[in-house]
Amino acid sequence: MSLTRKIAGNTILRVVARLIGNVFGVIVVALLTRYLGQEGFGNYTTILAYLFFFGALADLGLYMLTINEINKIDLDRSRFYSAVYSLRLYSGVVLLLLAVGLVWVFPYPSIVKQGVMIVALSIFFGLLDQIQVAVYQAELNVVRVAVGELLGKVVLISGVFIGIWLQVGLLTILWVLVLAQGLQWFISLTGLFKRIKFRLNLDRKYWRQIIRRTWPIALSQLFVLIYFKMDTIFISLLRPPATAQIEVGIYGAPYKILEVLIALIPIFMGLVSPVLSRVWSAGLKEKFRDMYQKIFDAFSIIVWPLVVGGVVLARPLMDLIAPGFESSDKILQILMVAIGVIFFAHLPTYIIVTLGQQLSMLKAYALAAALATVLYVVFIPIYSIWAAAWITVLVESMVLVMAWRRIKKVAQINIKYNIFSKAIFASLVMAGILWGLKDWNIFILLVLGAMSYLVVMVAVKGITKKMIEKILSREVI
């Protein structure tokens, strides 16, 4: 099988699995918003946002390093992966224990503090699973990963259904998260032993070599984490205690949609990044630029209907997912703009790491983190969730501009906007149709929106017969 066919096949498999899993995830959110209400869902969102911060710190840049390094010919795979896995495990234990200890300092409700103690175990399983998935992605064989993700989501949604049926509390439902993530980790782990030999160790000398490679990635991730995820934490801490968790719940419901959609980015980029890295290292710069253009075109085709359709259908979407959550539809409209920006910002930022240029973006990420922190602290106490949403758009836009400028300078890429502009046009036509039929059933509108967009894209040759043939033959790059 050709390399492009393997990339396409694995991409399609993981995307389909993730899409199904994300549908399950949205169903879980819809169930929990109804069952827990605004304040209860706010507690749930605060727990996850708080632990996400420490979980991301524990990554240390190891995931991206593993994807880009594990297949190199001159690498001692066993020693490398043993060191990476051990470093991930120990850093995860230390940082999550720190999270569990520090949460008692913050003025959170008792249920949030207890929930952090439970969900920390789920985050730990997720950290280990991520570094395991890196091997499958690098080898372009993600069948077991897809199976694990789907089974984990089945356990999650089943557990939540049963918990609601039995009328259990939030803390009991949180144990379902632990069980689902633990199952996903175990399925991935059992297949890993057949692919690579590794063991836990304390290889401090090799750790120092690894950290010298990953610290720019880790520091970049910290800055990204501050401007991307700290909005929820700031709402929970800076708003009046009587209403803080309610506001977090209202903000958290549409924010879950953002998280579901952008979760597709690392799947695709994790599969194509190693190939782009090899092409660049081989000096095939024209091929690299051609691949980059195709990825940009693919993002254009996918992102614009998501953004425009999400803005138009925000109200019925939130009525479906979180009925009664006042103003959540307007927050979703703002966040849909952020989704578009984030998609296009992630493409150059991933490639910057692939090209080993992550140090060049540190100042940009630091500036974004500093600006976001100042804006959050100044405006969230006054404007609450509205400030959080618009600051997300503003800061992500700034990162997009800086990342695009950097990748253009390093790789001399000049993007062609032919497909991009056609995708905008088709999305606007779709928006007009959806707006005229906005009182129809949301599921019918989603189908009509997709069909109208595709018809217009084919008509303006934004999607061509040749492109479809390549997709069907799995030769997308």
Domain ranges (residues) in the chain: 3-472
The H or E element containing residue 171 is: helix 170-192
Interacting residues of 212 by C-beta distance below 8 A, sequence separation 6+ = none
**348-375 mean pLDDT:** 80
Does residue 8 have a pLDDT over 60? no
Q: Give me the pLDDT at residue 6, please.
A: 54
Does residue 10 or residue 475 have the better pLDDT?
10
Does residue 172 have a pLDDT over 90? yes
Mean pLDDT of the chain: 83
Does residue 400 have a pLDDT over 90? no
Measured CA to CA in angstroms, residue 420 lies from 240, 381, 460 at distances of: 44, 38, 12
Does residue 40 or residue 285 have the better pLDDT?
40
Q: Give me the pLDDT at residue 346, please.
A: 79
The H or E element containing residue 318 is: helix 314-321
Does residue 2 have a pLDDT over 70? no
Does residue 5 have a pLDDT over 70? no
Q: Give me the pLDDT at residue 476, please.
A: 47
- CA-angle at 125, arms to 124 and 129, nearest 5°: 120
Q: Give me the pLDDT at residue 209, please.
A: 79
**195-208 mean pLDDT:** 77
Does residue 193 have a pLDDT over 90? no
Query: How much of the chain, in percent, has pLDDT values that exceed 70?
Result: 87
Q: Give me the pLDDT at residue 43, please.
A: 93
Is pTM beyond 0.85? Reply is: no
